[in-house]
Amino acid sequence: MSRKRTPYSVFRVVALVVVVLALIGPLVWMVLASFKTTVDIYDAGKAIFFTPTLDHYAKVLKQANYVQYIVNSFWVAFASTVISSILGVPAAYSMSRFSMRRSSLVVLMARVIPGVSLLVPWFYVFSNLHLVGGYTVLILSHMFVALPLIVYIMMGFFDSLPLELEEAARVDGLTAIGAFRRITLPLSLPGIATGGILAFIFSWNNFMFALVLSGAQTKTLPVAIFNFVGYASIDWGGLMAAATVVTLPIIVIALFTQKYIVSGLTAGATKG
């Protein structure tokens, strides 16, 4: 790293500060507003300096049933991530090792198809099975987000894992499945973490499926915030507190697992 102060290095520092402010600023603004009284939100002079209040959080968490929605969101994202991993990791392994490229296209289709076109048939079938409004249908629909992500990421991961160790284990007498379970699986824990974290985040953030398929008691957080917006006037403080409540857990997870998220989001991107 050079310490020379060239015109470019000065420009770069300024540009990076602008980029960081543009990306973080709006989120900071949202969090600040969630601590302001309604009067202060309307007051331009109190943009940054104000007396913080926890009223909006108290209201959101106590009156608006948000604790239930937080639990719902966690449960749906967690269950869909775990089941998707159990289905997706072996599938990705098989697709990678036995070069089932055409079969893997089925999974890719899940990303290309507009979700709305799946919702009407799902709604029909699941309401006939009396599942709409329950957790099962939410977990299944969110698996639809989680599974393709996990398969996609894990396929790339298995592709890059050297075969030698597994072959050695086979020579030593392990069966194909035994070699997968004892050798490959432990080695692929970083990949599974990557896929799992991303699947959890995208499942947590999903809005459209839960909007149609959840019931009053099974609403997830994004749907709950959306319902916060009234027809007459918006309770901005409450809305920003609700928005902070849904975003904060995911931001904390993301900051602690940065390198996994980056490797997952860019998986396969450079192979062209």
Partner 1 sequence: MAVQTPAHHAAPARSAPTPGWARWANRHMKWLFAGPAMAFVAVLIIFPVGWTVYLSLTDAEGSVRADKSFIGLGNYLDVLTDTDRFWPAVGRTVAFTGVALLFEVVLGMAVALLLWKPFRGEKWVRAAILLPLVATPVAVGMMWRLILDPNIGFANQALGWFGIGPQPWLSGQKTALMTTAMIDVWQWTPMVVLILLAGLTSLPEEPHEAALVDGTTGWQRFRYVTLPMLMPTVIVAILLRGIDAIKTFDILYATKGKGGGSFHEVETLNVYAYGLSFDYNEYGIASAVLVIFFLIIVGSMWVLTARRKEDS
**Residues whose CB falls within 8 Å of the CB of residue 96, separated by 6 or more in sequence, listed in order:** 154, 155, 158, 159
Closest approach, Cβ 175 to partner 1, in A, equals: 5
Separation between Cα atoms, residue 8 and residue 37, nearest integer Å = 44
Task: Assess contact for 216 and 233: CB atoms under 8 A.
Answer: no
Separation between Cα atoms, residue 9 and residue 101, nearest integer Å = 45
Closest approach, Cβ 141 to partner 1, in A, equals: 8
Q: 67 or 252: whose CB is closer to partner 1?
A: 252
Closest approach, Cβ 94 to partner 1, in A, equals: 4
Q: 42 or 67: whose CB is closer to partner 1?
A: 42
Separation between Cα atoms, residue 164 and residue 188, nearest integer Å = 15
Q: 68 or 123: whose CB is closer to partner 1?
A: 123
Q: 65 or 235: whose CB is closer to partner 1?
A: 235
Closest approach, Cβ 78 to partner 1, in A, equals: 16
Q: 68 or 90: whose CB is closer to partner 1?
A: 90
Q: 189 or 265: whose CB is closer to partner 1?
A: 265
| CA 29 vs CA 45, 66, 264: distances in Å | 14, 22, 29
Q: Is the dihedral of CA 95, 100, 101, 104 positive or negative?
A: negative
Closest approach, Cβ 245 to partner 1, in A, equals: 9
Closest approach, Cβ 161 to partner 1, in A, equals: 14
Question: DSSP letter string over 96-123?
Answer: HHTT-HHHHHHHHHHHHS-HHHHHHHHH
First-to-last CA distance in the chain?
Answer: 30
